Structure 1
Amino acid sequence: MSAELDALTVVNQLRDLAADPLNRRAIVEDQGCLPGLILFLDHPNPQVVYSALLAVRYLAECRANREKMKAELGMMLSLQNVMQKSTSPGETKLLASEIYEILQSAGKEEAEQAEAAAASCRRKAQFFLGSNNKRAKTVVLHIDGLDDSTRRSLCEEALLKIRGVISFTFQMAVKRCVVRIRSDLKAEALGTAINSTKVMKAQQVVKTEDGGELILPFQEDSAVLVEENTDIPDYLPEEESPSQEQDKAVTRVGSITDGMGWLSTAANFLSRSFYW
């Protein structure tokens, strides 16, 4: 297995572990994983960089992590480098910018933190906080047929091919996917991509004036042309994807004990790869 493939495998595993809120504190407290993710931000493979950014974005969702992440050597500088690098894809720059803004705001006065925490509670049904960047918006999808890790992988592949998708997270228990997209991308494009799998059907979840939720189906004749994202390489094939191995903790949401066992393996890889 090549060194680059090893790096992609490890960063994808860390991304999937970070997607579970139960793992986020432990990943940041680990002595090797957070420094390793920072080094991945300068990797020549753009998919490694993008997956590392997704992992960091998940970790930043935990408010208790932000001060440590901001203070970690090289974190803010690496995010700036990704944002300023001319070869970085647009979605990668936008995601790095959102993370930078979140971490930059860490450490403000307690009153401001309390206000932000209250706002976060009002939006806890959504994964990504607010609209830190006016060029992006959040779309919540209810996906009929999103029943297992195989269907989730199909959904991931469909979304990753859409130019304008910044990031996404799944809420498997309620068959939902929260997608962060550029403001100029229509939600119908997401529905078209997911419906193209032939085994899943997407509907949009919107808030009503009284605070409730309304599930709106996409019109059958509203299929839009999906512009494929050629800047970011495809994920690993299914037979090589670590998320498909049923004995790995990343396939069992909430399994923090097993997940921490894998973190030790990841830390060892990072230590061998980056520290002399």
Structure 2
Amino acid sequence: MMDALSVVCQLRDLASEPQNREVIVQDQGCLPGLVLFLDHKDPEVLLATLQTLRYLAELSPNIPNMKNELGMMVSLENLMAREGLSVDITALAQEVYEILSAPPKLSTCTAETERRKKSQFFINSSNRKAKSVTLHIQGLDNTALRGLCEEALLTVKGVISFTFQMASKRCTVRIRSDLPTESLASAIAATKVLSAQQVVKNDEGEEVLIPLNPSGVKVQQNSALPDYLPEEEESPDREVDRAISRTTAKEDASGSWLNAAASFLSKTFYW
């Protein structure tokens, strides 16, 4: 049974796959439906909707269509000014708004290749034989320091993807299951201005910070950075330390589900 949250979560998981982003934006029902979800009362729906839009905006040709979608920019402005929302929702709304508002840049092959190497990596949860680790990064105060952290993580062999939550100074990193978490802390500590602690949940379900000792940990580095780091083939193992992980993405991005979602949106929100 479809509802608003399940539909937007499915769209978010589809949008996490780069090859699906153009199809979602070009669909006549999905983008208008996402705009309407920006006015939803449920914070979970709002956050999932903004995450979906952030994924879609990673594909630069999508940006003009998203910006020109009726109600998009106004709804984002309303969210930024709306009281009572979490800092994650407000910050993400502002980030999406700024991306869509930015003047178009001249695109060249060199610039696009460099952007894909250095820009924010989103978690592709179809990566297997992997684990997700959430880090609290002390000193993550601005975009320049985020770029420094990105560069550090990209040098670690075994890092698959990562995404930042700047408002809470968090970074969720998807890594190979055999990569020690201390390797991430060591690479981040090498910046000399940043340090990392792991975010886990205790037996009461509360988040706690676990110190990581980066000293003496040898970091195996990538000698050459591909556009996207390689993926593995086996099923993921359950995290024994209960590190916070992300939901599993839908592997099949066929038009059948997308059509069903668009139909749901059309029936639920008549315009």
When normalised by structure 1's length, the TM-score is 0.59
Give 2:117's match in structure 1, choosing from 111, 115, 125: 125
Match of residue 81 from structure 1: 78
Per-residue CA deviation, residues 31-63 of structure 1 (Å, 9 max, x unaligned), is 100000111111111011111111111111111
Q: Does residue 131 of structure 2 align to residue 147 of structure 1?
A: no
Unaligned residue ranges in structure 2 (runs of 5+):
141-157, 190-195, 201-205, 209-246
In the alignment, is the contact (CA less than 8 A) between 1:203 and 1:217 conserved in 2? no
Per the TM alignment, residue 147 of structure 1 is displaced from its structure 2 partner at its CA by 2.8
In the alignment, is the contact (CA less than 8 A) between 1:43 and 1:49 conserved in 2? yes
Give 1:185's match in structure 2, choosing from 164, 169, 174: 169
With over 3 angstroms needed to count, the CA separation of the structure-2 counterparts of 1:10 and 1:127, relative to structure 1, is: farther
Q: Does residue 101 of structure 2 align to residue 101 of structure 1?
A: no
Structure 1 residue identity aligned to 2:265? L
Q: What RMSD, in angstroms, separates the aligned Cα atoms of the two structures? A: 4.2
With over 3 angstroms needed to count, the CA separation of the structure-2 counterparts of 1:224 and 1:31, relative to structure 1, is: closer
With over 3 angstroms needed to count, the CA separation of the structure-2 counterparts of 1:118 and 1:47, relative to structure 1, is: farther
- Secondary structure at the counterpart of residue 61 of structure 2: helix
Per the TM alignment, residue 225 of structure 1 is displaced from its structure 2 partner at its CA by 6.8
With over 3 angstroms needed to count, the CA separation of the structure-2 counterparts of 1:182 and 1:201, relative to structure 1, is: same
Match of residue 264 from structure 2: 269
Per the TM alignment, residue 182 of structure 1 is displaced from its structure 2 partner at its CA by 2.2
In the alignment, is the contact (CA less than 8 A) between 1:202 and 1:217 conserved in 2? no
Count residues in correspondence.
Answer: 202
When normalised by structure 2's length, the TM-score is 0.60
5 Å-filtered alignment, 1:152-231, equals 155=132, 159=134, 176-182=160-166, 185=169, 201-202=180-181, 216=187, 223=197, 228=207
Structure 2 residue identity aligned to 1:176? I
Q: Which structure: greater helix fraction?
A: 1
Distance in 2 (alpha carbons) for counterparts of 1:160 and 1:8: 27
With over 3 angstroms needed to count, the CA separation of the structure-2 counterparts of 1:27 and 1:118, relative to structure 1, is: same
Per the TM alignment, residue 204 of structure 1 is displaced from its structure 2 partner at its CA by 5.6
Distance in 2 (alpha carbons) for counterparts of 1:18 and 1:52: 11
Unaligned residue ranges in structure 1 (runs of 5+):
129-137, 165-173, 207-214, 230-242, 245-249
Distance in 2 (alpha carbons) for counterparts of 1:66 and 1:21: 14
Identity across matched positions, percent: 37
With over 3 angstroms needed to count, the CA separation of the structure-2 counterparts of 1:81 and 1:199, relative to structure 1, is: farther
Match of residue 250 from structure 2: 251
In the alignment, is the contact (CA less than 8 A) between 1:24 and 1:58 conserved in 2? yes
Q: Does residue 22 of structure 2 align to residue 29 of structure 1?
A: no
